[in-house]
Amino acid sequence: MTIQTVSTNKSHGGVQGVYRHASQATGTDMVFSVYIPPYADGAKLPVVWYLSGLTCTHANVTEKGEFRRACAELGLIFVAPDTSPRGPDVPGDANNAYDFGLGAGFYVDATQQPFARNYRMWSYVTDELPKLVAENFPVDARRQSVMGHSMGGHGALTVALRNPHRFRAASAFAPIVAPSLVPWGIKALTGYLGPNKDSWRNHDTVALIEDGAKFSGFLIDVGEADNFLNEQLKPELLEAACAKAGIPLTLRRQAGYDHSYYFISTFMSDHLHWHAQKLKA
């Protein structure tokens, strides 16, 4: 699989790159970013996957996430894919809503028309893109972790729970932990997977835990001033599920912080140091 370099910039001694490739999973061109920290020739580095939230592309965290200094110090590769397929032939929401269709792939493989052809983000982020990155960058595939924000927090936690032997750590900022129970998730899962709620459970963190999925532990930050906290995020449901299942959870409620990248960038270094401890153990 070949990639096209869109741009590269030196940063904190490493290289921030943006790349494009033709995706077999989505049937579209896909753009993603990779930060490679300074490293010795021949070295293989641990990788942190970052899944973004509604309306975002790779660019949001790349430009506003403030992760490069910590990644350079810790020797971490940081990969940020897009959130959905894009292009003139890709179907979006009929009403151009922000929470479904373009920019809102929800990290599932759609089964419903007209979305099933292109909206295969689960396959993209768990299979196709990891193989592509491993072929083109100095990744140590034995040391991977995953994190995300909001819709991407939902993606990161479900990816970790369904692939516990691949990922050593998982964390999230303001994740949608129970999409089956909240408006964002109900709309997306109905549209992509259909009305049978049993088919939703593999893409619902709380449901996966209820059904027996395990992971080594999670770090979660939520902002107490987040407008979506009570209606869409419901971190208390994850707290209860992890407590019942015996899954270690560090849930930090940050006073005064909202849903934005001002919040994410403030605590990004904390998360990356936490990931580094797990990845280098």
In single-letter form, the type of residue at position 225 comes to A
Contact between 280 and 46 under an 8 Å Cβ cutoff? The reply is yes
Residue from 154, 203, 259, 271 carrying the catalytic annotation: 259
User: Is 89 annotated as catalytic?
Assistant: no
Nearest Cα residue to 32 out of 103, 148, 133: 133
Q: Is 12 known to be catalytic?
A: no
259 is catalytic: yes
- The arrangement of strands across the sheet holding 249-254 comes to 4-11, 14-22, 29-36, 77-80, 45-51, 139-149, 167-173, 218-223, 249-254
Catalytic residue among 171, 203, 226, 271: 226
Given 150, 203, 204, 275, which residue is catalytic? 150
Contacts 24+ apart (CB under 8 A), 4-8: 6/31
Residue pair 184/233 in contact by the 8 Å Cβ criterion: no
Q: Burial level of 46, CB count in 10 A (0-12/13-18/19+)?
A: buried
Active-site positions read 150, 226, 259
